Structure 1
Amino acid sequence: MTDFLTEELIYKKSPQEITSMLYEACIDNLEGAISALKKKDYFTSNKLLKKSNDILYRLDAGINYEAGIIADQLDALYDYMSEKLIEANIKKDVSAVEEVLKILTELSTSWSEALKNKSSVQPNTVRQKNLAYEKHILTMN
C-alpha cells in the first residue's frame, strides 16, 4: 500500500472500506517490522511499528460507541495491541509483534466477512454523518 492516499480516493470510500484499508496497511507494516526485526534492522522496524501504532490510534478514534459492548471490547483490544507494539519496539521482541499481527489478521478477516454480508444500502443521513466523521479523522496529524 502506498504511503499516502489522495483526498479524492478517501472521500469515495465508505467508512467501512477505509477501516478495511487501515487494517491492510497495518498488517503490511507489521509484516515488514517482523522481517526487519529478524534482520536486526532496528531503524526500519521502529519506523514500521510507529506507523502501525498510528494506524491503531486512528482505528481506535473511529470506534462508534453507540454499537455497545463490542465497541468497548474493540477499544480495549486496540489499546492492548498498541501497548504490545510499544513494548515489542523497546525490547525488539518479534513474538510480541507476531501476536499483534495474528489478532489484527483475525479482526481484518472478520471485518471483511462482515462487509460482504452487510447490505450496502445505508440511509443517506447516516452515510453523510459517517463521511463527515471520516474526513475529520483522516485529516488528523
Structure 2
Amino acid sequence: MSQQQFQVYKNNSVSTASPGELTLMLYNGCLKFIKIAKRGMEEKNYEQKNTNIQKTQRIIQELMVTLDQDSAVAKEMMPLYDYINRQLMDANIKNDQAMLDEVAELVTEFRDTWKEVIKLNRQQQYGKGANF
C-alpha cells in the first residue's frame, strides 16, 4: 500500500468512526506520542520529546473539552485529565521518564476501560457476537 493510499484509508477510518471509536483513537494516539517522547528523552533528542509531549497534551485537552460536563463520569475524569496534563508539563520540563510512564499507565487504563465500554455497547446493540 502506498503512502497516499494509507493516508486515504486513515482519513476514511477517522471520518467513519463512531464517537466511541474516535475516543479510542485519541487514547491510542496519546500512547504512541508518549512512546516517541520517551525515546526522544533517551536519545537526548529534546525537540522530538517536546513535540510529542505537546501532541499528547493537545489530545488530553481535546478529551477535556469534549467531556459532557453534566455527566458523573466527566466529574471524575476532568481532574484526572488535568493531573495528566500537569504531569506531562512537568515531565517535559524535568525530562522525567517516570512521569511519562505514570501518564502512560493512566492512559492505558482509560483506553482499556473504554474498549470494554465499546464492546459492551456493541454486545447490547448487536448481540453477543460483536467483538473487535
The answer to whether the superposition gives a TM-score over 0.5 is: yes
Within the candidate set 74, 86, 93, 2:96 is matched to 93
Partner residue of 2:28?
24
- Give the letter aligned to residue 104 of structure 2: L
Partner Cα separation in structure 2 for residue 8 and residue 99 of structure 1: 32
- Larger radius of gyration between Structure 1 and Structure 2: 2
Point out where structure 1 has 5 or more consecutive residues left out of the alignment: 123-141
The aligned counterpart of 1:65 is: 69
Of residues 52, 74, 77, the one that matches 2:77 is 74
Which aligned pairs between 1:1-141 and structure 2 lie closer than 5 A?
Answer: 8-68=12-72, 70-119=73-122
- For 1:66, what is the secondary structure of its paired residue? coil
What RMSD over aligned residues (CA atoms) do the two structures have, in Å? 2.3
More contact order relative to length (CA 8 Å, sep ≥ 6): 1
- Identical amino acids, percent of aligned pairs: 29
Q: How many residues align?
A: 120
What stretches of structure 2 of length at least 5 have no aligned partner?
1-5, 126-132
Give, in whole Å, the separation in 1 of the partners of 2:70 and 2:10: 29
